[in-house]
A = this chain, B = another copy of it.
């Protein structure tokens, strides 16, 4: 009989004590015997390279208690919360996750489900509202928040002020079979740079790393050791790759990025010569209408050449397994309930599955670009040679 499992959608950038806490609490709340994580790859959802590559982040997660780490394909992961959540949930449900657990500032699953229902039932009204307001120059998140407020009133809509609640609502909206579970975020909350004795947000940890500060309090030992060996992207080289891509690409092609389509390509081309790093570039393009995240994601999609007109099916690319996870995957394969291809060796598996070629090609390029910017060997670290980490 299949073991009871809980799925988590994550970035683990890097894996820290808050993630460990979420896993432990999820297991406690659900009684799950297997923990499955659907994780972003080398580029995270907000459109920047992860602080360690996906193989290292997957290993850190497995060594810290996750049984199965699956990559959310780059075309979905480096995309809107909507696409990210949809792909992640589809992966977890196809792997037979009985529960899907996510952090939230609310911690109250009924409250979150309530808002999710309102959004679903009023989708047409909300879309029209957003479309009108964004034409007036509002950003998408602001317009969406106002649309919901016009239905539920200020108090319920204020749930949408917190980033993890927003993601949680996206997950709830996508879940078909699994039971949604939420764990209230502990430690640092809104002020994401605050730290406590044991907890710091991934944002705070990345900032400490930038300043060469000690981060060992905030991460499980195993994760820290892996992280210390990681070779992150050289920011200057990464920015030069972006300059090269932006100055050589055609605006019309650039506008095909999922976050493009409103003249952002020409704005980007016009700004890039004035900026000497990615931070400056994103800030220079940010406006009331375009959030910093939208800009970052547009730049990343441009670099990776992601084209919203090119379609790919979703797939389950295995990055890491505990022995428990290996056994679980074997059961899933036997049961034939999984409708998505399970990929452990891209060389073999690409030929066997139709409809996933575009998605895999973007994952390969994402890894290559990450390796180029990190100065890693393009052969030894290529996707063609990497195999899942098995504990």
Contact = CB atoms under 8 A, between A and B. Distances in A.
Interface residues of A, number: 22
Interface stretch (A27-35, A110-118, A365-373): A365-373
Contacts of A187: none
B369 A272 contact: no
Interface in A339-391: 365, 368-369, 372-373, 377-379, 382
A228 interface: no
A237 interface: yes
A244 B244 contact: yes
A272 B378 contact: yes
Contacts of A247: 365, 368-369, 372, 378
Contact of A372 (B240, B365, B369, B382): B240
Contact of A248 (B272, B365, B379): B365
Given A273-B378, A382-B273, A372 B237 contact: no
A220 interface: no
A108 to B, nearest CB: 45
Interface in A274-320: 274, 276, 305
B243 A276 contact: no
Secondary structure call for the A interface: helix
B305 A379 contact: no
Nearest to A369: B244
B372 A243 contact: yes
Contacts of A243: 368, 372, 378
Contacts of A178: none
A368 B249 CA distance: 12
Interface string A247-259: 1100000000000
A375 to B, nearest CB: 8
A206 interface: no
Contacts of A368: 243-244, 247-248
Contacts of A305: 248
Nearest to A241: B244
A29 to B, nearest CB: 44
Contacts of A377: 276
A341 to B, nearest CB: 24
A245 interface: yes
Interface in A231-270: 237, 240-241, 243-245, 247-248
Contacts of A245: 244, 248
B273 A379 contact: yes
5 contacts: A240-B241, A244-B244, A244-B245, A247-B369, A247-B372
Which 10 A-B pairs have CB atoms at the shortest separation, nearest pair first? A273-B379, A273-B378, A247-B368, A243-B372, A240-B372, A241-B244, A274-B379, A244-B372, A248-B365, A273-B382
Given A248-B369, A273-B378, 7 more contacts: A240-B372, A243-B368, A247-B365, A247-B378, A248-B305, A248-B365, A274-B379
